[in-house]
Amino acid sequence: MTLPKGFGGGGGGASRADVEGMIGKRIENYTSLITLSYLGAFFATMFGTMVGYLYYPWAYASASGHYAMIVLTVIEAIGYIFCVKVAEEGTTKKSNGQIAAALAGTTAIMLYVSLYVA
């Protein structure tokens, strides 16, 4: 196997460390980045549907906008949990508190919007 420059010894094959170095970083420490991505997707969904029923009220009824936000938020939350759990599979990292905080915050915002914004 031909290795990129900077990997491998002088003429032998690739060692395990070389292959791991070429594959890239481990993602078990990326929980914060995944959480920020989830929150970004949530706020993009929220503001996108808000534009729909504030600027185009004749096309999108308020109830329809709320329903779309709730369904999309549930789909995003399931994907978020899946991404974090797959990224941390086989490690001793525990990010349940961070997941709970992100999901509780988005749930609180969704409840507020659904109940009081019309």
Measured in whole angstroms, the distance separating CA 44 from the mean position of its chain's CA atoms is 12
Residue range(s) defining the domain that contains residue 112 = 25-116
Q: Does 25 have pLDDT greater than 90?
A: no
Number of domains in the chain: 1
Q: What single-letter DSSP state applies at residue 88?
A: T
Q: Which residue has the higher pLDDT, 25 or 115?
A: 115
Q: Does 69 have pLDDT greater than 60?
A: yes
Q: Decide if 12 is inside a domain.
A: no
Q: Does 11 have pLDDT greater than 80?
A: no
- What's the pTM? 0.75
Q: Decide if 3 is inside a domain.
A: no
Task: Give the H or E element holding residue 47.
Answer: helix 31-55
Query: Is the CB of residue 102 less than 8 Å from the CB of residue 109?
Result: no
Q: Decide if 10 is inside a domain.
A: no
Q: Which two tokens stand for residue 95?
A: 């990010």
| The pLDDT value given to residue 99 | 95
Q: Decide if 96 is inside a domain.
A: yes
Confidence of residue 2 (pLDDT cuts 50, 70, 90): low
Q: Decide if 62 is inside a domain.
A: yes
- Return the residue matching tokens 């990292």: 93
Query: Is the CB of residue 42 less than 8 Å from the CB of residue 71?
Result: no
